[in-house]
Each structure stands twice: as C-alpha cells, then as structure tokens.
Chains A and B, each alone.
Chain A
Amino acid sequence: MTLLTHPETWITDHEIPVGTWSTDFVNFVKNNFQGFFDGLSNVLGFLLDGTTSILHAVPALLLIVIFAALTYVFKKSWRMALFVFLALLFILNQGYWDRTLETISLIVYATLACMAIGVPIGIAAAHRPALYRVLRPVLDMMQTLPTFVYLIPTLVLFGLGSVPGLISAIVFVVPTPIRLTYIGISNVPRPLIEAGQAFGASPTELLWKVEIPAALPTILAGLTQVIMLSLSMVVIAALVGAGGLGEPVVEAMETVQIGKGFTSGLAIVIVAVILDRVFRPSQESTNA
C-alpha cells in the first residue's frame, strides 16, 4: 500500500545493501586471506623500509653527489647535473632530506610494481581484443574512483604504514602503463609484424624482436607518467602513515602552518621536476 501512496519511502525503506555487501566482502577477504596479506605487507614493508634505511645510511652530501653524477651519466648534461645537485642541497637545507628518501623509495617500488604489472597486461590486452573490452571499464573505474574509497579497505587489509600507501599508489597508477602499452603494441605497423612473420618468427620472437621494440617509445612515455603519478600520491600515502614528503604537508594542513606547507610543497615540486627531467626519454633515444 505504501508503494502506491509514498513510492519514495518504499524505495528508501528497501535500500539495496551495497554498502553491507562491500563490508562483508572486505571482511571475508580479511578473515580468510589475512595470512596472505600479512605476508605481502611484511615483504613490501621490508623492501620499502629497508631501501629507505640503506639510503639513510649514506651521508646526505655523498648521496647528493651520486644522484648528480648519475644524472650526468644518463643525460650527458652538466647543466642538468648541476641543477639536480643544487635542488637536492636546497631540500637538505630545508630539513626534508629524510622525508625525500622515504618518498623516493615509495616511488621506486610503486614504479617497478606498476611497470611489472602494467606492461604484461597491456601486451595481453593488445593481443586479445576481448580481454581489452573487459579491462577497459575496470581501468576507467580505477582511475575515477576517489582514492580515499579504496584507501579504507587497503588500511583494513594491510594496516597502517608505508605498504597501504604503496598499494594505493599502484591501484591509482597501474591503469596508465596498461593503457600506454596497449596503445603501443596495437599500433605496431602491420608490415613490420608481417616482416617478422615472413621470416619465420614465432609469436614470442615476434613480441620481443618486433612488437616491444616498436612500442618502446610509447611504453617509455608510460614510465615517465608512472613516476609522476606515483609522486602525486605522496600526500595521500602520508594520510595512512607512509611517511615521506606528504607528511609535513598533512601536518602543515592540520596545524595551519603556512611556511611549512609552502616549503614541503616546494620540495615535492623539486623532486617532481628532477624525476621528470631525468626520466623523460630524450629525442635520440626515442628514435633508436
């Protein structure tokens, strides 16, 4: 009877328990696979914190010189090496050195994980159109879902610390290498594929000798984006206790410290600029 007189009330009274379902699902996973998630959490935590400790163990000035030298080796540019040197000195000067190291190890592992997961999935999707049709809405969802939404179950499953920060970064970033690898592999010119086939390449040989080299510029463009997107997750990672450069930002926000907010923000920007300049493929290496 209420259905006829007050249809809205009937609808609100019979709420579909989506929220309960998702809670049940996360609890179910937690109760049944806790061992797995604990193990994963321990391994990732060990890697992340271990890397940070190793970086900590190196004197800051020496590490800055090493970073500047590596920049010179990769980029063959004195100017860029000098920029890296001065920029890192500035971060040290502002007191964000330890946080920067935490952020760097988070980015390194997030990037490695995203490329290790994203590139093979992208290749598989390019070879199987049906897989890509299924994958596309999932990727769209991963990129549009607000980060905080999956931060909660990540916290439940992995606890506080650097690991949930890493996992959230991966969830947010991994669609990018998948998409870019998919685009790169699908756009390999048909004649090149046929040339490989015509000389007797097996599907695996075709992948390694033709498809991946042809798609490499696009895949490398994906790498740069992965690094930048991982960096964009530092503040959110800090909310779940991952430390890093996001932490002073969060503190500054909570305590309304304009100066601290500005300097920590500046440190993030500096790290971003360095990573972008150093990892963006140069013109020659794209052609080669």
Chain B
Amino acid sequence: MSFAAKFEAVDILFPGSADRGARGRMTMALAELDAGKTRNDIIGSTGIVVGAADVNLEVEQGEIFVLMGLSGSGKTTVLRALNGLNTISRGRITIRHGDELVDMSNPPPATLRRLRNQAVSMVFQQFALLPWRTVRRNVELGLELRKMKPAEMRASVDQWLDRVGLLQWADKHASELSGGMQQRVGLARALVTNPDILLMDEPFSALDPLIRNKLQDELLQLQRTVQKTIIFVTHDLDEALKIGNRIAIMKDGRVIQVGKPEDIVLRPATDYVAEFVAHMNPLTAIRAASLMRPIGALRAPDGAHHFNDNQDYALHLDNSGQLIALHRDGAAAPFHQPQPGVRCPQGSTGIVTGQHLLKDIVEIRQQTTRPVLVADNGRIVGCIGTTEILDALTQAGRADYRDNTAATN
C-alpha cells in the first residue's frame, strides 16, 4: 500500500497578530519549540500559539484515518493543513494526486487551487452550505469552479444526490433541510469532484446522536464502494473506533499514538490514552478477534475442541481448521453464518468474523442463545461464550485479551 498523504516533521504555529515583529517572534517560537518548551511557555513569551508540533503521519490509500483528540489538541489544525486552510510553519506535507506526488507545504496559489479543486475536498462541521443556493447548486460548487457547464455536470451531480438519498430534494434550498440532510449534501458536494483525499472535520458532531449514528453507518456503507482515502477528525472515541481503520490520538498539538482501533484500546501508549479508553463504549469498540478465546486455548481431550462455560460443546475440525461438525452434549448441533439485518435462528450457533463488534456478538448470542464461533476465511480461530462477553464488557479480563490477540495475530 502506498501512502495518500504524508506529514514529515510538520509544525503549525499561529502568529496571532501580523505586525512588524511577527517574523522575529516566529523564529523565537520555533527555537523555543526545539528547546522543548511547552505550548504555554511559548504563548507566554512570544504570543504565538503552537497548533501542531512535530507531526509525522502517513495516511494510506483507501483507509479511513481518524485524528482524535480533545478540543485544542491540534487535530483540526493538522487536517486543515492538508488543503492549505492552515499554512505550515516547518516540515513537509506530500499528497498523492493520481500518479503524481505533490508537495503541499504552502504551494503557490495556482497549484493550491488546482489541488483543492481536484485532489482534496472537505466536509465541514457546520456544513457550510451556501444557503441561497438549491441543494443541487450546492453540490455543483466544485465542478462549477472547474468551469464545467451545467449540462455536463448534471449527470454526476444527480448521481451523487441519489447516492446520499436526496435526489428528490435537489431543488429545495439548503436551509430548508434538517442537519443530517444538510451534511449529506456536504458529503455529496465533496465526493462529486472525485477527490483523492476526503477531509472530514468533525462532520457529525453538530448532529443529534441518532442521526450521527445513522450517518456513520452511511459513511461506512459508502466507503465500501468508493474506497476513498478519508481523513476524519473527531473528539469522540467511540466514533473514532467505529469509523477508523487507523487512529492517531493527539494531545497539545502532538501525536501521541497511532494505531488500529484494537491497538489503541488494548495497548494504550500513555496514561492519557488509557484514560480515554477507559471511558469508551466497549460495545462498539471491541471486535470478535480481540475478545474471543482462541482455539489453541480450548481443551481438546478427545480430538475435539470443547468449549462453552461448562464445556458442553465439541468442535470437530479438519486439518486445515475448517469446521466439520459441531456437537452439543454428544448430539449434532446446527450452525450458521449470521447475515446483517436477518434474525438468527434460535438454537443455531453463529459463526462470525474477527471484525464483528461486541455489539453484534451480544445480539447474535441473545438471538441464538448459543455461544458464538469466530472464523477467519473458513478456519475456526476462536469462540466466544458468556464469560468472554462479560469480561469484555467489564474490561476485567483485558490482560487476557492482550495475550489472546498476541496469540492470534
């Protein structure tokens, strides 16, 4: 996988007032930053705000990369540097636009405009739709700035309006729509330009929780077909864990940990991250692969793997690990692969993938009243019983998951 965007030792400092001494103060602030002074020291002595310091990140093509942190942590600052809404003070930002690598570290205005129009687009927290335009005319913005004629853009604009479910609202004014609908317009406006990178600055924070959840699902659904590189800013860990393929946690302008959601949850790099994780909702954060009891840990006295809390289940696997038969108390027991949106048959053991969330597993467990098996490409790798679910919910057995994850990775 090659990178879509790369930050190398990026510092972003805000000069405050642009008076005559600004340059000197900036040099001083950079020197203080190098000397290891804190943000507060630097603002005290120079008046300059350190937005982000020494940011090194590589965002891969096609992933949803989440920048996560509290307000003032510098996550939005870093995001906005990617399309030049913030200028960087030092370091280098490179993005991939088609086959070319472009230096985005404060490029000349013409290059910046071209890249904003073709390579990087953005979804805003407060939607930022033009209220005097209709929904369709809002979505047209990027193409219109390419000097495309209305007739030429009509097809792609309407296609995107349809994909976000707003085609019948095309001729309404943006201000007539609800918040959730407005943000769908924002998403269509950003995607219609077919950008290489999509920036999303807390896009769902202004929405109420139900709509937020729905839009998160819609975004994930959309991402399965568009496969864009998305950089997503949020202050909500649950959202980060749900949406992100990888997460960078920021604090005081610095990146303190980058990793997959499981890494953040199971191996917090600092106490700060650990404290964050302690407040997350495990239902939407922990996945089957992390909470299962691995197959290697099951008792296998008679060639079959026995599991469940009272060992009443026996798994019969072939040499490649495929499931041949499942027995409960000696009798053959049914099993199936749960489908999204379909209620599981009671009494039949569900077989899930490692990517399923604890939330799904609890639901399957409840519908089937049976333990859940975890498979990886048809090979059974672990099982989840009531004990594992309860441990995950209370996070009491976290040390165990770490060992388990290590064993299965």
Contact = CB atoms under 8 A, between A and B. Distances in A.
B116 A194 contact: no
A199 B147 CA distance: 12
Interface string A181-223: 0000000010110111111111001000110011010000000
Interface hub of A189, A191, A214, A216 (most chain B Cβ within 10 A): A191
Given A200-B145, A210-B130, A213-B130, A195 B113 contact: no
A198 B85 contact: yes
A198 B146 CA distance: 13
A282 to B, nearest CB: 15
A194 B85 contact: yes
Contacts of A189: 128
A209 B140 CA distance: 12
Interface size class of A (residues with CB under 8 A): 20 to 34
Contacts of A197: 85, 116
Interface hub of A200, A213, A214, A216 (most chain B Cβ within 10 A): A200
Nearest to A199: B142
A16 interface: no
B124 interface: yes
Interface string B79-98: 00001010000000000000
A288 interface: yes
Interface string A208-246: 011001101000000000000000000000000000000
B130 A192 contact: yes
B352 interface: no
Contact of A199 (B117, B126, B132, B175): B117
B128 A200 contact: no
Interface string B113-135: 11111101110101111101100
B121 A201 contact: no
A69 to B, nearest CB: 29
Given A191-B124, A191-B128, A199 B85 contact: no
A209 B126 CA distance: 19
B130 A200 contact: no
Contacts of A192: 128, 130
A196 B133 CA distance: 13
Interface of A: 189, 191-192, 194-202, 205, 209-210, 213-214, 216, 287-288
16 contacts: A191-B124, A191-B127, A192-B128, A195-B122, A198-B83, A199-B142, A199-B145, A199-B193, A200-B115, A200-B142, A209-B130, A209-B144, A213-B132, A214-B130, A214-B132, A288-B132
Given A213-B130, A213-B133, 18 more contacts: A191-B127, A197-B85, A198-B85, A198-B116, A198-B120, A198-B124, A199-B116, A199-B141, A199-B189, A200-B114, A200-B115, A200-B118, A200-B145, A201-B113, A201-B145, A202-B109, A210-B130, A288-B173
